[in-house]
Structure 1
């Protein structure tokens, strides 16, 4: 599997004659430069896309009965009457300071609201990702190493089924069986006091986490399985087996590191899908996360809140992707070079 595009770029980060630590520092610096440039481009695209949406945001917020004078006064209060470039620069410099503006509807800090919502979304996504990786790595390696056996083929078939399952259907099925019929876990919602009672908060996230983890696990198993099949066919694996090593020993000692390379790459690619999947999951389970906040603000045409939320999600995806690219560079000696 190919490495992430930004990770591939690190192969030319520094001349081969430099010490390894210096080459690695150059690669990290290049990744940070890519991150800053990408965030600036993303912020501009987000701002312009929302700014030039059809319709007058001030007129919509003012209501159908508002007069032209009232609409103009609201535009002035919200700063919508200023030049577009001034509005963008003001927003970007504020975002750098951690100020994403205030909601057009209730005047609350957008950054503060996002911080509250991330207390639900981040644990949900992190838990789903950790569970998926912990299950996918051993299961995918077993399916790859024994891909000609009946259980190896069965795992492959189950992963195809898991990828095809609609997330909302899985969520509704879990709610119907586990929460409604068995009454083991809460049906929907999240504690109003957030994590004041960690047990209640965790119980509220169990079903959403499982729902989000099922398709992600299935996809990761397929990638690990394919990587393992490639590894098993390598010449050095056959040599190790001829020397008396078992398949299990070869995969654990050497194959796990090689299988980690495509896994790191695909986790970065799956991150955006994971966050977007959380939007749907939060709707199914009525979780007050950032996805539900985004949908509500889009419906209310609260552009300041929407652009702040989109920038936050984009930043999270890019930062994690860059971090994974750096990890990829550390794992793969072909990318960091050798002394």
Structure 2
């Protein structure tokens, strides 16, 4: 490999297409709290604190997890377009807003599995309805464990005996936050009303009975429309991603692992829903840690089930120009 190879970056159409696809990454309340800058040969990822949930996420944990998911989505999209990405995470600890830098190398034949996950980006959605048991779960679980092997990320599956206790923890978390007016104001700002490119629209929320049949969930405003779409209790498998610490680097790794898990679920025909609200409060975190019997810190709970509702709406996304700044110096954009 020559020095000139290392300085290559994708051409403008490829860059825009890959980043537009990567913008489909999941984020807390669909806040999309990321900002990217092409600086010479490197594409830099920054956290966008203008989109921080000051009440629900004052430390920025869920924000960074969201950015980690976007980082993995971006690397997957570029790989499918023929570009290998060399990634440096937390390049400068003195600049906490700067989360990662990726540089590019040609990759003529990316693995078929990565291409399949890139193609799944546009199909993936968050399923807030009750789910049935996922098909061929043992095979899927094996693949998910392998894909979630990021530094210090621990993958656990909760057994059925944990479900009632986790449901209680979910309800207790909701009860604590129900009368927190600042929390509720923030929640309503991002949900249940029409924003053209962000937040969770009304049609993507669960109706009353659907919500009641999904006890392990974030409590959003209940809506009457669309009509209730499920008449069975939730039987999704429950996966927990945890770490041994609570640093920015560990949150970023959790986000990357989360993205890998969600995309593989989509490839396999399974539905999924990531939940970070269960780890917003210390008491719920401690309960989940007790359930998995590890001296670790739970970061994300993921519901995984059968995909019975392909027509469920997807949430909107910002245009790529809103979060990506390109350095259009001619000798850099090829």
- TM-score, normalised with respect to structure 2: 0.24
Structure with greater Cα Rg: 1
Structure with more of its chain in helix, by fraction: 1
TM-score scaled to structure 1, two decimals?
0.24
Larger RCO, structure (CA 8 Å, separation 6 or more): 1
